[in-house]
Amino acid sequence: MSANYDVVIVGGGIAGLSLASALAGKCSVALVEAEQTLAYHTSARSARQLIPSYGPPAVQELTLRTLELIAAQDADRPEPVLSPRSFMLIGDDAAVREQASGHMRPISHAEAMELCPALVPDSFTAAGLDTGSFACNAPLLLEDHRRRAEAGGVDIITGARVHSAQRLGSGWELGAGQEGFQAAVVVNAAGAWADELAVLSGVEKVQLQPYRRTAAIVDVEHPLPESCPMVAAADDSFYFRRDGGQVLISPSEHEPSGPEDAQPHPGDIEALIARLNSLTTLGIRGIRTAWTGLRTEAADGVPVVGFDAEARGFFWLAGQGGYGFQTSSGIAELAADLILAGQGAAAVPGGAQAAGPASRTAEALAATRWSIRR
Ligand SMILES: Cc1cc2nc3c(=O)[nH]c(=O)nc-3n(C[C@H](O)[C@H](O)[C@H](O)COP(=O)(O)OP(=O)(O)OC[C@H]3O[C@@H](n4cnc5c(N)ncnc54)[C@H](O)[C@@H]3O)c2cc1C
């Protein structure tokens, strides 16, 4: 006997959880996660920074909307999810000039040195600063979405990998672990596994590619001041930021991978430590912990959000790449509008192709992608 829902969300990372919280109380929803714990994969492995100047135009719009939505909720939370932390790019003149527009303004070498005194002065010639950037308490945001979802009646099932999905009458039937589900809409929030989930559902892939990215928390002789921005190389070869008395560092690698529980490659962090010890006065002494996650991208780098044009009731919520947290609430709002607009029009939510209530985020995304099949 299958349990029956309006919407089954597959994937319990930030994408699936933020949509579950946006839909809670508005229709019947189950969220199904393969792992025993929520947010086990990429959503537990981010650098926890939201950067308005980062990414293509649609991502930047979604980031601004996400910041608005999270800030509004922060007003009612005892502990805020967001805290101000600027984002600074350093590099040569040409590389910085290319990116220092819009939300990022060029700053002088002296200003950059003042903001991050740990930089070796001749390690860069130009800098840009995004003061609208925020640190994100990712565990708190994830937990808040889980709590709001459950309070709104969403059933969250962990340790249940979806192994089969097929169209049945006007909806879908899914098998997950030992359980069965029926739903009018299936949401594919399966991260690095999103194309695999499409294939097992008989839906054409959208050619998503997971890319590895590693980060580590390191001990340093000279901790960064609390006011220090997150610092990234304009050529995308590293970034670092303060993490209490330690420092988070990343080699910013972008290496293709299959969907898997990614782990650091030996030597990657050690090579970065040697480099950062020449570019900064941090004096990195050792690695506390290191991890790797998968940033899953479509070919054009824009998240894949919307009903599949061919497979009725199959909704994509994938390809968030390196922007999954900074776009999460904006994308969830947009996705919930689309799913609920479909539900209003017919007994089956899956009919919608156009955006529901016009919103800035919908327009931003519509400009670059609406039809999931290009
Ligand atoms: C090192 C690093 C730093 C990053 N820094 C930032 C940052 O500062 N800011 C930012 O915005 N983003 C950042 N990101 C990107 C961000 O972490 C991702 O975009 C985001 O976590 C993706 O979330 P997701 O929910 O799509 O995927 P995931 O968190 O991977 O969730 C997908 C879930 O689907 C489940 N699943 C898959 N197949 C099935 C199935 N068949 N049945 C049931 N469940 C299934 C998986 O088990 C998984 O839990 C970073 C990423 C990395 C790796």
Nearest alpha-carbon partner for 114 in 86, 83, 84, 82: 86
Query: How does pLDDT run across 207-238, given as a tens digit for each residue?
Result: 999 999 999 999 999 999 999 999 999 999 99
Residue-level pLDDT at 1: 73
The answer, yes or no, to whether residue 18 has pLDDT greater than 80, is: yes
Contact 295, 191 (CB under 8 A): no
CA of 125 to the centre of ligand 1 (A): 35
Tens digit of each residue's pLDDT (9 = 90 or more) over 49-88: 999 999 999 999 999 999 999 999 999 999 999 999 999 9
**Segment 261-274 mean pLDDT:** 97
SS in 3 state form for the chain? Answer: CCEEEEEEEECCCHHHHHHHHHHCCCCCEEEECCCCCCCCCHHHCCCCEECCCCCCHHHHHHHHHHHHHHHHHHCCCCCCCEEECCEEEEECHHHHHHHCCCCCEEECHHHHHHHCCCECHHHCCEEEEECCCEEECHHHHHHHHHHHHHHCCCEEECCCCEEEEEEECCEEEEEECCEEEEEEEEEECCHHHHHHHHHHCCCCCCCCEEEEEEEEEEEECCCCCCCCCEEEECCCCCEEEEECCEEEEECCCCEECCCCCCCCCCCHHHHHHHHHHHHECCCEEEEEEEEEEEEEECCCCCCEEEECCCCCCEEEEECCHHHCCCCHHHHHHHHHHHHHHHHHHCCCHHHCCCCCCCCHHHHHHHHHCCCCCC
Q: How confident is the model at residue 178, as a pLDDT?
A: 92
- Overall residue count recorded for the chain in this entry: 374
Average pLDDT of every residue of the chain: 92
- What's the half-sphere exposure (Cβ side, CA atoms, 13 Å) at 276? 32
Residue pair 313/185 in contact (Cβ under 8 Å)? The answer is: yes
Atom in ligand 1 nearest the alpha carbon of residue 40: 49
- Position 364 pLDDT exceeds 70: no
Q: Which two tokens stand for residue 72?
A: 């509004």
Residue 320 has what pLDDT? Answer: 97
Least-confidence region, from 149-153, 264-268, 276-280, 351-355: 351-355
CA distance 5 to 25: 13
Q: What is the pLDDT of residue 227?
A: 97
C-alpha span between 282 and 270 (Å, rounded): 15
Residues 153-204: tens digit of each pLDDT: 999 999 999 999 999 998 999 999 999 999 999 999 999 999 999 999 999 9
Q: Choose among 180, 211, 182: nearest CA to 301.
A: 211
pLDDT confidence of residue 369: 46
The owner of tokens 């061919």 is 310
Ligand 1 centroid–CA 41 distance in Å is 6
**Confidence at residue 2, expressed as pLDDT on a 0 to 100 scale:** 86
Residue 183 in contact with residue 2, Cβ under 8 Å?
no
Q: What is the pLDDT of residue 366?
A: 58
Distance CA 6, CA 350 (A): 10
- Determine which residue's CA is closest to atom 21 belonging to ligand 1: 43
Report the distance separating Cα 302 and Cα 63, nearest Å. Answer: 13
Question: Which residue puts its alpha carbon closest to atom 35 of ligand 1?
Answer: 11
Displacement of CA 364 from its chain's centroid (Å):
17
Nearest CA to 342 out of 187, 188, 155 is that of: 187
Q: Give pLDDT tens digits for 92-151.
A: 999 999 988 889 999 999 999 999 999 999 999 999 999 999 999 999 999 999 999 999
CB count in 10 Å sphere of residue 116: 21
| Domain annotation for the chain: domains and CATH numbers | 3-45+138-208+300-368 (3.50.50.60), 87-131+209-296 (3.30.9.10)
pLDDT reported for residue 363: 53
Query: In testing the pocket of ligand 1, which one of 21, 42, 156 has its CB within 8 Å of the most ligand atoms?
Result: 42
What are phi and psi for residue 268, nearest 5 degrees? -60, -45
Cα(324) to centroid(ligand 1), Å: 7
Please name the residue that has the structure tokens 């994100």.
Answer: 136
User: Which residue has the least CA distance to atom 22 on ligand 1?
Assistant: 324
Tell me the pLDDT tens digit for each residue of 327-362.
999 999 999 999 998 743 332 333 333 333 334 445
- Is the pLDDT at 315 greater than 90, yes or no? yes
Measuring from each residue's beta carbon to the nearest atom of ligand 1, which residues come in under 6 Å? 10-16, 32-35, 39-43, 45-49, 161-162, 189-193, 197, 213, 215, 250, 293, 295, 320-326
Backbone angles phi, psi at 296, to 5 degrees: -100, 125
Question: 274: how many CB neighbours lie within 10 A of its CB?
Answer: 10
Residue 370 above 50 pLDDT? Answer: no
Whole-number Å distance, alpha carbon 366 to ligand 1 midpoint, is 23
Q: Whose CA is nearest to atom 15 of ligand 1?
A: 322
Instruction: State how far the Cα of 287 lies from the Cα of 243, in Å rounded to an integer.
Output: 13
Counting from 1 in the atom list of ligand 1, the atom nearest the Cα of 43 is: 21
